[in-house]
Amino acid sequence: MSPEMIGLVGMTILFVLLGLRIPVAFAMFAVGFVGNMILNSPAAAFSQLASDSFSLAASAELVVVPLFILMGNVATETGMSRKLYDAAYAWIGSVRGGLASATVVACGGFAALSGSSVASALTIGRVSLSEMKRFKYDDRLSTGVVAAGGTLGILIPPSTGFVIYALLTQESIGRLFLAGVVPGLLLLSAFIATIMIITWFKPEMGPKGPKTSFPEKLRSTGGAAPILLVIFLTIGGIYSGIFSPGEAAAVGAGLVILFGILSRQLTFRTFWKAAQDSVVTTATVMLILISAYMIKTFLALSHIPAWIGTYLETLAIPVLGVLAIMLAIYLILGCFLEGFAMMVLSMPIFFPVVQQLGIDPIWFGVLVVLTLEMGLISPPVGLNVFIVKSVAPDVSLGKMFRGVAPFWFAMLITLIILVLFPQLSLFLPNTMIR
């Protein structure tokens, strides 16, 4: 049997295992490890397992993952996320659809702490859904905006998605973080515009909230000052070159813990819970990365990436056409696969093609992460929708998916804009690093 055929059989088995609900890390590890044994040798497979596991665990770049996760978990446990929502609500909650817009702003702010879409949707959902229900918001709009707003966690830096992409492609984490800033703000604005359009045509879906006085606005902003300061220092420090991403993560985590202690909101019990959650999440990411390296080597030995790259070159279509095909594949796969699984499975196949065609890898990373976000709210998987379902069990999944549909199209429009105007993604990283 040829290496190509072995590779195709291996990928078929992988998708069968995923269809049987085997955890993605275990499925990828099994196929990659056995495939390496067949195409290389058992000794080489065991040697790679030992070397890759050690090199990943010893990677200084990976320190950003546990630190940013810890920062987000501590912010949740100490109530900082609630204060962020209260500040956004005080300024824009009194306009039509204002509570929904405040939810998007709060999701964007919390995303700049946690780097996790699931954490953003879960944390802000707990705070905002009860408020929107109290002010008679339509369930479709309230649940849809939480599910969609949570996706900002994987685009607005610090983003776990960018970290994994950087490790899989050997690109700069700092450049990827900066590349996500403008697209993240653009997507946040698109969500708010979507809310305004919905409530313009159907005012009953998002009634006005109570007005707040200017002193109340200032008090709410003051309450959110610590979390805003942390966001400013971490992102600003990376952009100005004062901090590396790892140093920014350490500074951010330290400041959030310090603010929690000074405000007496952080006890040993809450810190222990935040630390436990951070360890579990980090271990999950590490296991996925180790499995990704195994499957990456297996695919390289099977020559499938080279075969696909040669095939796409023979199609004689422009580079943008090839890029559109890859993004379309991501959109389809996003309906069935979890985002990180999709990235680690596809990068060994698509990234060599990206390099052959001369596509900017930082720009491609932003486009990939955005399409992963779309998968988070695409049926039938729609992980963020199921997260919101756990917070609002009385709302049907059908109603939630209908509510999230306008935001999915807003993401599609944003994706098209980023494809047509690459400098929106590349401007900040190119000004930081020449």
Which pair of structure tokens corresponds to residue 12?
């078929």
User: Taking 60 as the threshold, does the pLDDT of residue 245 lie above it?
Assistant: yes
Confidence bin at 189 (pLDDT 50/70/90):
very high
pLDDT digits (tens, 9 = 90+) for 393-426: 888 888 888 999 999 999 999 999 999 999 999 9
Mean pLDDT of the 421-432 span: 87
Who has greater pLDDT, 284 or 325? Answer: 325
User: Which ranges of 40-97 does DSSP label H, i.e. alpha helix?
Assistant: 42-57, 64-77, 80-92
Q: Tell me the C-alpha distance between 327 and 354, whole Å.
A: 12
Q: Tell me the C-alpha distance between 12 and 126, whole Å.
A: 40
Who has greater pLDDT, 250 or 312? Answer: 250
- Interhelix angle for 3-19 vs 304-314, to 10°? 100
Domain residues of the chain, as ranges?
Answer: 3-432
Min mean pLDDT across 133-142, 164-173, 333-342, 374-383 is at 333-342
Q: Tell me the C-alpha distance between 36 and 68, whole Å.
A: 34
pLDDT digits (tens, 9 = 90+) for 279-322: 887 777 777 777 777 877 787 788 777 777 677 667 778 888 88
> What pLDDT, on a 0 to 100 scale, did the predictor assign at position 297?
79
Mean pLDDT of the 214-229 span: 82
Mean pLDDT of the 341-363 span: 84
The amino acid occupying position 391 is: V
pLDDT digits (tens, 9 = 90+) for 133-157: 877 889 899 999 988 888 887 788 7
Confidence bin at 192 (pLDDT 50/70/90):
very high
Q: Tell me the C-alpha distance between 76 and 167, whole Å.
A: 27
Give CA torsion, residues 271, 272, 275, 280, to 10 deg.
-150
Q: Tell me the C-alpha distance between 43 and 307, whole Å.
A: 27
Who has greater pLDDT, 9 or 406? Answer: 406
- Asked if 32 and 291 count as a contact pair (C-beta separation under 8 A), the reply is yes
What's the distance, Cα to Cα, between the start and end of the chain in Å?
Answer: 48
> What pLDDT, on a 0 to 100 scale, did the predictor assign at position 434?
52
- Asked if 289 and 342 count as a contact pair (C-beta separation under 8 A), the reply is no
Which pair of structure tokens corresponds to residue 129?
């859904």
- Asked if 271 and 77 count as a contact pair (C-beta separation under 8 A), the reply is yes
User: Taking 70 as the threshold, does the pLDDT of residue 433 lie above it?
Assistant: no
Q: Is the whole model's pTM more than 0.85, yes or no?
A: no
Q: Chain-wide mean pLDDT for the chain?
A: 82
Who has greater pLDDT, 306 or 66? Answer: 66
Residue 373 to residues 165, 331, 336, 379, Cα–Cα distance (Å): 14, 10, 13, 13
Q: Tell me the C-alpha distance between 377 and 285, whole Å.
A: 21
Mean pLDDT of the 97-121 span: 78
DSSP conformational letter for 206: S
User: Which ranges of 180-318 does DSSP label H, i.e. alpha helix?
Assistant: 181-201, 214-223, 225-240, 245-262, 268-302, 304-314
Percent of the residues in the chain that have a pLDDT greater than 90, as a whole number:
13
Q: Tell me the C-alpha distance between 245 and 260, whole Å.
A: 22
Mean pLDDT of the 330-337 span: 75
- Which of 366, 420, 414, 340 is closest to 175 using CA atoms? 366
